């Protein structure tokens, strides 16, 4: 089954919603305009219940099918943008300097709204669908906040499904895999306190720049020489701040970075080896080194049965040849992982064509994706909750 005819008829309307959201990006939990628009549209469509303030600024709309059933499935879209100056040059570009929808959450929100419009019109299913609009995906943990507010139990959600656009994959195609599909992402801070000195008298110093430089190189050996080559992990030092003058060895240095992994045991191993190495470096060089390791989003892990089902729906929309069922896992992280830890479900990717990459200033969501995404959501509900 290709794009649903009724959805094709109102796709231009969904595109207008998307362009409006793109012009007015909002960050983190501060998505008051966006969530207000979402809630108002859900009410206009005729949702049976619209609940705001879940996870601070999240919105949940409940749509009941034409036949009663206790079964509830959740469909989730993210609403927040990124602190990036847009350089797409599009007529609908951001009107807020320093903020833009560089990850396509405007498209995700618009597509789920389109599905809500269709499902409230047709109600060709049994049970209830919960359309979930989440804030703060970009590092703020909005998915966890909605769960902590009791979303899953309050609405009796039994399964949950998510979707994200993927630049480089042709429009009209889908990609998915069972098991881990996106990595866990952790952050770390390393503060090296040495002893400052004149640059002409290095013997008087405990040089945090030298210590930090050696530490950056040594940290790379953790993955290279401790992690099984058949496993995956990435340790990246992304920030190194030290000193302000060309002739002064500074007193301290600050390093920051991230660790990505798929296996919980590997996650533990990398953290422990980092602690051991950093402690040894401090003792070896006579410096005081403080280390803070913060666990971030867990692994996004698709459940086998729900992934098989989601794949079958994607094939209905796109055709079997246009669904990659062994999409390579990605080292990026996604807080839909929290929802998949609570309920079985699947996170699928939809092709966004030849656009700039995610989080790039020239990125833009391709409007041609919209009828495929809306049709996928709609058919998923009608198939999972048959009349």
Q: What is the dihedral of CA 11, 13, 18, 20, to 10 degrees?
A: 160
Q: What is the distance between the alpha carbons of residues 160 and 74, in angstroms, rounded to a whole number? A: 4
Which of 26, 80, 86, 186 does the annotation list as catalytic?
80
Decide: helix, strand or coil at residue 373.
helix
Is 28 one of the catalytic residues? no
CA distance 83 to 294: 22
Nearest to 361, CA basis, from 5, 131, 80, 89: 89
How far from 183 is each of 241, 260, 317, 329, 337, CA to CA, in Å? 27, 6, 28, 8, 9
Nearest to 233 by CA among 301, 275, 185: 185
Q: Which runs of consecutive H residues, i.e. helices, occur in the chain?
A: 5-9, 11-23, 32-45, 105-122, 142-148, 151-154, 208-226, 264-285, 304-318, 336-342, 370-384
Q: Which residues contact 83 (CB under 8 A, 6 or more apart)?
A: 27, 98, 99
CB 180 within 8 A of CB 240: no
Look up 366 and say whether it is catalytic.
no
Select which of 26, 137, 207, 334 is catalytic: 137
Catalytic residues: 80, 137
């Amino acid at each position: 089954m290709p794009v649903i005819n009724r959805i094709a008829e109102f796709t231009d309307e969904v595109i207008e919603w998307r362009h409006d959201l793109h012009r007015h990006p909002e960050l983190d939990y501060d998505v008051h305009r966006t969530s207000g628009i979402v809630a108002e549209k859900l009410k206009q469509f005729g949702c049976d219940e619209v609940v705001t303030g879940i996870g601070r600024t999240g919105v949940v709309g409940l749509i009941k099918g034409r036949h009663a059933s206790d079964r509830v499935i959740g469909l989730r879209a993210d609403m927040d943008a990124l602190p990036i100056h847009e350089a797409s040059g599009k007529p609908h570009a951001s009107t807020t300097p320093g903020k833009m929808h560089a990850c396509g959450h405007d498209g995700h929100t618009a597509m789920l709204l389109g599905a809500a419009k269709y499902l409230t019109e047709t109600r060709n299913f049994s049970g209830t669908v919960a359309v979930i609009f989440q804030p703060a995906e970009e590092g703020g943990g909005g998915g966890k906040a909605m769960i902590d507010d009791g979303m899953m139990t309050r609405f009796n959600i039994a399964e949950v499904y998510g979707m994200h656009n993927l630049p480089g994959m042709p429009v009209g195609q889908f990609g998915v895999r069972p098991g881990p599909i996106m990595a866990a992402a952790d952050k770390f801070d390393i503060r090296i306190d040495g002893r400052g000195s004149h640059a002409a008298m290095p013997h008087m110093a405990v040089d945090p720049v030298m210590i930090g430089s050696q530490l950056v190189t040594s940290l790379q050996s953790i993955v290279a020489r401790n992690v099984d080559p058949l496993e995956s992990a990435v340790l990246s030092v992304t920030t190194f701040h030290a000193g302000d003058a060309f002739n002064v060895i500074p007193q301290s240095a600050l390093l920051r970075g991230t660790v990505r992994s798929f296996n919980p045991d590997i996650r533990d191993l990398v953290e422990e080896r980092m602690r051991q190495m950093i402690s040894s470096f401090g003792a070896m060089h006579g410096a005081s080194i403080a280390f803070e390791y913060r666990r971030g989003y867990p692994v996004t892990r698709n459940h086998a049965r729900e992934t098989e089902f989601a794949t079958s729906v994607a094939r209905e929309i796109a055709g079997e040849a246009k669904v990659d069922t062994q999409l390579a896992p990605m080292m990026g992280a996604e807080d839909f992982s929290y929802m998949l830890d609570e309920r079985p479900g699947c996170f699928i990717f939809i092709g966004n064509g030849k656009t700039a990459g995610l989080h790039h200033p020239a990125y833009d969501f391709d409007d041609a994706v919209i009828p495929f995404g809306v049709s996928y959501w709609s058919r998923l509900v009608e198939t999972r909750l048959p009349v």
